[in-house]
Chains A and B, each alone.
Chain A
Amino acid sequence: MATETAVRVEDKLFQNRYLVDAGRAHIKVRPHTTPSAALRSLLTTCPARCYELNDKGQVEITADGCVECGTCRIIGEPSGDIEWNYPRGGYGVLFKFG
């Protein structure tokens, strides 16, 4: 087995249980042309790697694997870069152990 392969966070998230609220993402990124430094930092800091760059160099979110830690809210809400809400009751990550 290779020792220095990149860590695939998808493999980690695969262990988790989720109830995805289809069509109702609880986090939204404010439309932008060039991402702010705070927004860019989410690409590496988000522990579920929900944030990615699209081919126009803008930051996009796919919140399906979100573990609801709130890190991106702390970083991006005060500047208005992102809008953060809890998922509706019962939806989102369902921790088995926590």
Chain B
Amino acid sequence: MIDERFDAIVVGAGMAGNAAAYTMASRGLKVLQLERGEYSGSKNVQGAILYADMMEKIIPDFREDAPLERHLIEQRFWMMGENSHTGLHYRSDDFNEEKPNRYTIIRAQFDKWFSSKVREAGALVVCETTVTELVQDAYGKVIGVKTDRGGGQIHADVVVLAEGVTGLLGARAGLRKIPKPTEVALAVKEMHFLPQEVIEQRFNVKGNEGAVIEAAGTISEGMTGMGFLYTNRECVSVGLGCLVSDFQKSGESPYTLLEKFKRHPSIAPLLEGSEVKEYAAHLIPEGGFKSIPQLYGEGWVVVGDAAQLNNAIHREGSNLAMTSGRIAGEAIFQVKSRKEPMTTANLSLYKKMLDDSFVIKDLKKYKDMPQLLHIQSQNFFLTYPQLVNKAMQNFVRVDGTPKKEKEKMTVKSFTSARSWAGLFGDAFKLARAWR
């Protein structure tokens, strides 16, 4: 076994763990990274969209050799009705820039590449090894880890917990609580393979261009949730997620819901004839700002999904993960280069730097949003989408009804479903939570 001592041990090789390990190793720290999968990526699941700006801050020239699928030029938001959808699309040729802003990626491939960079930077990356326990001294200070490979303890000055949304170590050591069913969404996803030119025709893109569809409404049957379609080069990622607590309450199965989503008349033609090659499921932290646990302590920091760092409103997770990993790595490097110990006081630098970044600022902005959407899921995910789709049908269908009467019908459908007070109340609460 490994009997050397390390400056840092990173547990996990997802976006946050790779960013932390890369940042520290490339600054000369002696880093051990432990990953339970066969390779970095083999246990990691995401939609997935990569945000270039945050990746550039870690590896500026990542575009040269990273496995990227398509750069996104079009974003479609669909509000789903039973047999319809009302869409808001944004497409711009500006996104065909020299250094595009967002890309679709396939995590198993991207993470493998990222991990090769971590190794090149000098970290020791050990896969197929599950960390089973944090080793703490008599005062509770984290001094290392134990793995399922036997051989006793491996010691380090600091342990970076990048163990993902369902990370066991921090919770078992009492460093943070296990997330509640109201704080995590369960998403299921399939990879649908189609010939490249078919994807390009169906989604109105060419070359390396890609499009994203994000859909909410009746597809989640009143639960807080959404569906998505992301175009990769030769496949489409199709998925849907809802709060775990909502799944429990409704008794709906995630895979049944996904099947219904795929059969929706607005979605089915986009997937027709595809070959499914994988089915995955993953939890997504949804608690927002109010669910962020203690982020550092004696000899440890926590980063990424394990720290609930996910912006559910903007559907951003991996960029918060990689940024928190990078910042934790930079903070640890600073403490180390001052030749100071990895105490709670010194590691508070990580929190300070994170507070100054977009990560905490964005989560703070939407701190009331999760509660609002979760409590009112019936209104926001079922009633309103139904009403909007009905209103659109009423607006576009020409059937000899005078327009004035049509407008009255639409207004009446809203007020009878949700009353004037309810409508204004929801609008006010939504605006306040958005602020």
Residue positions of A touching B, CB distance < 8 A:
3, 7, 9, 12-13, 15-16, 19, 38, 41, 44-45, 47-49, 67-71, 73-75, 77-78, 84-90, 92-98
Question: Chain A's nearest CB lies how many Å from the CB of B287?
Answer: 12
Q: How many residues of B contact A (CB 8 A)?
A: 54
Residues on the B chain within 8 Å of A70, using CB: 165-166, 283
Query: Besides A7-B255, A16-B279, A96-B277, 11 other CB < 8 A contacts?
Result: A7-B256, A41-B251, A44-B251, A47-B254, A49-B253, A68-B43, A69-B186, A69-B282, A75-B181, A85-B168, A98-B43
Given contacts A44-B253, A45-B253, A47-B254, whether A93 and B244 have CB atoms under 8 Å apart is no
Q: What CA separation (Å) do A86 and B36 show in the bound complex?
A: 8
How many A-B residue pairs have C-beta atoms within 8 angstroms? Tell me.
Answer: 139
B279 contacts which of A44, A67, A94 (Cβ < 8 Å)?
A: A67
- 3 smallest beta-carbon distances between A and B, as pairs: A70-B166, A90-B128, A12-B279
User: Are A74's CB and B280's CB within 8 A?
Assistant: no
Given contacts A15-B278, A75-B244, A95-B44, whether A47 and B178 have CB atoms under 8 Å apart is no
Q: Can you name the residue of chain A whose Cβ is closest to the Cβ of B237?
A: A97
Kindly name the residue among A19, A88, A97 whose own CB sees the greatest number of chain B CB atoms within 10 A. A97
Residue positions of B touching A, CB distance < 8 A:
36-38, 41-46, 48, 106-109, 111, 127-130, 147-149, 165-166, 168, 178-181, 184, 186, 188, 190-191, 235, 244, 247-248, 251-256, 259, 263, 276-283
Question: Chain A's nearest CB lies how many Å from the CB of B361?
Answer: 28
Residues on the A chain within 8 Å of B235, using CB: 97
User: Are B43's CB and A93's CB within 8 A?
Assistant: yes
A44 contacts which of B44, B178, B181, B247 (Cβ < 8 Å)?
A: B247
Q: What CA separation (Å) do A86 and B131 show in the bound complex?
A: 9
Q: Can you name the residue of chain B whose Cβ is closest to the Cβ of A38?
A: B248
Q: What CA separation (Å) do A67 and B256 show in the bound complex?
A: 17
- 6 residue pairs of the A-B complex, CB under 8 angstroms, read A49-B255, A69-B281, A78-B178, A89-B148, A90-B127, A98-B108
User: Are A41's CB and B283's CB within 8 A?
Assistant: no
User: Are A89's CB and B252's CB within 8 A?
Assistant: no
User: Are A48's CB and B253's CB within 8 A?
Assistant: no
Q: What CA separation (Å) do A93 and B37 show in the bound complex?
A: 9
Q: What CA separation (Å) do A67 and B108 show in the bound complex?
A: 15
User: Are A88's CB and B148's CB within 8 A?
Assistant: yes
Q: Can you name the residue of chain B whose Cβ is closest to the Cβ of A45?
A: B247
